[in-house]
Amino acid sequence: MTNTLTIALLFFVSALCAQQASGPSYLLLSHDPAFLEEVGKLSEPVYAKGRARLVRFTVPYASLPPQIAAYVRPADIGEISYGPAPAPEVKMADPAVLAVTNRVSGARLMGYAETLTNTGKRGAKDLDASAASGNRAAMDYIENAFKELGYQTERHCYKERKKDRECNILGRRKSAVSGAKTIAVVGHMDSVGHNNAGADDNASGAAGVLEMAKVLSSYAADHDLLFIAANGEETGVAGTYALAKKMKASGEMASVAWAINMDMIAWNRNGILDIETNKEFSAFADWVAAQAVIYTKLKPYISMPAWGSDHVPFLEAGVPTYLSIENWEDHNPCYHQACDKMDTLSWTYAADLVKLNLAVVAGKAKLTPLKP
Ligand SMILES: [Zn+2]
C-alpha cells in the first residue's frame, strides 16, 4: 500500500515537473552572476554551451520579476550554434595589412585600460551619486584621447542623471572620398560600478577602441570612421540603443557598412576568441575568423545568436556586426565582481584581438599611410 502510494505520488510529481518545464524556452540576455542565481530558482536549464544559456521557466512568464523578464527572450534551440570557425582556404598574409597590425602596442593598450580602470566608480548609475564620478572621468579621458588623435569628438548625451548626464563619447573622421560608407567601432566604457575595477569588463574593450583609433590616425581611409565609447551598456545596452535610434532617425545608420564590438578582450587561458553575430551574417563572421588565423595567434570560435552587448543594436538595424570577446566557455571568473582588476589580464591576448579587428578594417577598406 505504502509502495503503491509512493509510486502514485512520484508519478504525480514527475507529471507536474514535466508540465512545469514544457513551456517555451528563453535565451538569457545577461550572465551577471546574481541574475543567473535568480533565474536558476525559477527555471530549468535547457542548453548551456559557448555564449548561449537557454532555460524553461517553472513559473508562468507573466509572474517573472521585471528585472528578469527584461533580460530574456523566447528562443529556439535551433537558433543556437557554437564551435570552431571553418579553416580558411587562403592563409597568405597581405604585407599591407601586416603593416597596419604591426602598429598595435600591447603596452599602450594596457595603459589606456589602466587609466580607465582607475577612474573610480564607472557605473552609469554612479552619475547619480557624484558629478565627479569615475564614469564622468572616463568620459572626459576618452574625449580628450580622441581629440589628441585628431578626431572630431561628440558627446551624445541621452539621459539626465541626478548629478550629471549619461553620454556616449564619439570620435569621427570623414573620408576625403565623397559618399564614403562608415566603419563603426564600439566598446563600452561603463562598468557595473565597483571602485577602480571593471578592468576586463570593459576598460579592455574601450581601450581597444582607443588603440584602433590611435593606429588608424596614421592612415587615410576610403571610409568614414566612427569610434564609439558607449555608456550604459551594463544597464540594458542603453547608450548604443539610444545612439542607434538617433542614427536611424538622421539616416546615418544607412551609411554604416559594418561594425565591430569589443567587450571583455583581455582575460585568456586557452587562446580562443569568440566571434558572435546573427545567422544572416555568418559568412562575414567566417571571413573575420579567417583573418584571425592569418594575422594573429587566436583560435576563432563562432557563436550565434547575438545577445547582451553593443553589437545587438547595430545588428537589429541590419548592419553586419560582430562581437569580439574572450572565450565565454572559460571567461573571467571576476566577471561583474570587485576583483575584475588589471593584474589578472593578458595584454598579449588583447593586443592580438585588436590586431584582428584592424586586419578586418585593413582588409575591407583602403588605407593609405599618412606618414612613414
Ligand atoms: Zn561588458
pLDDT in tens, 257-305: 999 999 999 999 999 999 999 999 999 999 999 999 999 999 999 999 9
Neighbours of ion ligand 1 (CB under 5 A): 201-202, 263
In angstroms, what is the span from residue 252 Cα to ligand 1's centroid?
A: 25
Q: Is the pLDDT of residue 5 over 90?
A: no
In angstroms, what is the span from residue 178 Cα to ligand 1's centroid?
A: 35
In angstroms, what is the span from residue 262 Cα to ligand 1's centroid?
A: 9
Do 120 and 171 lie in a common domain? yes
What's the DSSP call for residue 199? I
Element (H, E) at 168: strand 165-173
In angstroms, what is the span from residue 197 Cα to ligand 1's centroid?
A: 12
pLDDT at 311: 98
pLDDT tens-place string over residues 147-156: 999 999 999 9
- Grid cell in block for residue 355: 590586431
Do 74 and 102 lie in a common domain? no
Do 320 and 271 lie in a common domain? yes
In angstroms, what is the span from residue 17 Cα to ligand 1's centroid?
A: 35
pTM beyond 0.75: the answer is: yes
In angstroms, what is the span from residue 309 Cα to ligand 1's centroid?
A: 7
pLDDT at 371: 72
Q: Is the pLDDT of residue 11 over 70?
A: no
Does residue 335 lie in a domain region? Answer: yes
Q: Kindly state the average pLDDT of the residues 139-164.
A: 98
Contact in structure between 281 and 301 (CB atoms under 8 Å): no
In angstroms, what is the span from residue 122 Cα to ligand 1's centroid?
A: 12
Around 336, how many Cα atoms within 13 Å sit in the side-chain half-sphere? 10
From CA 6, how far away is CA 75, in angstroms rounded? 37
Contact in structure between 235 and 244 (CB atoms under 8 Å): no
Contact in structure between 187 and 353 (CB atoms under 8 Å): no
Do 31 and 132 lie in a common domain? no
In angstroms, what is the span from residue 3 Cα to ligand 1's centroid?
A: 53
In angstroms, what is the span from residue 13 Cα to ligand 1's centroid?
A: 41
Q: Is the pLDDT of residue 10 over 80?
A: no
Mode of pairing for the β-strands spanning 272-276 and 299-304:
parallel
Does residue 126 lie in a domain region? Answer: yes
Does residue 89 lie in a domain region? Answer: no
Does residue 71 lie in a domain region? Answer: yes
In angstroms, what is the span from residue 200 Cα to ligand 1's centroid?
A: 8
pLDDT at 22: 67
In angstroms, what is the span from residue 59 Cα to ligand 1's centroid?
A: 29
In angstroms, what is the span from residue 177 Cα to ligand 1's centroid?
A: 34
From CA 191, how far away is CA 113, in angstroms rounded? 12
In angstroms, what is the span from residue 248 Cα to ligand 1's centroid?
A: 24
**Domain count of the fold of the chain:** 2
In angstroms, what is the span from residue 188 Cα to ligand 1's centroid?
A: 7
User: Percent of the chain beyond pLDDT 90?
Assistant: 92
Do 218 and 292 lie in a common domain? yes
From CA 203, how far away is CA 189, in angstroms rounded? 6
What's the DSSP call for residue 160? E
Do 130 and 55 lie in a common domain? no
Does residue 318 lie in a domain region? Answer: yes
pLDDT at 3: 55
User: 551577471: which residue's cell?
Assistant: 32
In angstroms, what is the span from residue 46 Cα to ligand 1's centroid?
A: 24
pLDDT at 90: 80
In angstroms, what is the span from residue 234 Cα to ligand 1's centroid?
A: 7
pLDDT at 206: 99
Do 50 and 156 lie in a common domain? no
- Grid cell in block for residue 12: 504525480
pLDDT at 4: 53
In angstroms, what is the span from residue 198 Cα to ligand 1's centroid?
A: 9
Do 204 and 68 lie in a common domain? no
pLDDT tens-place string over residues 85-118: 999 988 899 999 999 999 999 999 999 999 999 9
Do 22 and 146 lie in a common domain? no
Q: Kindly state the average pLDDT of the residues 327-342.
A: 97
From CA 351, how far away is CA 211, in angstroms rounded? 9
Do 213 and 339 lie in a common domain? yes
Final residue before a domain boundary, out of 79, 110, 125: 79
Does residue 87 lie in a domain region? Answer: no
In angstroms, what is the span from residue 201 Cα to ligand 1's centroid?
A: 5
Given pLDDT bands bounded at 50, 70 and 90, which one contains residue 19? very low
Does residue 88 lie in a domain region? Answer: no
Do 323 and 251 lie in a common domain? yes
In angstroms, what is the span from residue 41 Cα to ligand 1's centroid?
A: 24
In angstroms, what is the span from residue 251 Cα to ligand 1's centroid?
A: 28
Cα Rg of the chain (Å, integer): 22
In angstroms, what is the span from residue 276 Cα to ligand 1's centroid?
A: 14
What's the DSSP call for residue 195? B
In angstroms, what is the span from residue 240 Cα to ligand 1's centroid?
A: 12
In angstroms, what is the span from residue 156 Cα to ligand 1's centroid?
A: 19
Do 70 and 109 lie in a common domain? no
* Domain carrying residue 284: 95-369
In angstroms, what is the span from residue 361 Cα to ligand 1's centroid?
A: 22
CATH number for the domain spanning 227: value is: 3.40.630.10
Q: Kindly state the average pLDDT of the residues 302-313.
A: 97
Element (H, E) at 106: helix 106-117
Give residue 56's Cα distance to chain centre: 26
Does residue 85 lie in a domain region? Answer: no
In angstroms, what is the span from residue 2 Cα to ligand 1's centroid?
A: 55
Final residue before a domain boundary, out of 79, 104, 132: 79
Q: Kindly state the average pLDDT of the residues 196-201.
A: 98
Given pLDDT bands bounded at 50, 70 and 90, which one contains residue 8? low
Q: Kindly state the average pLDDT of the residues 4-33.
A: 66
pLDDT at 13: 46
pLDDT at 83: 96
The mean pLDDT of the chain is 94
Final residue before a domain boundary, out of 79, 112, 141: 79
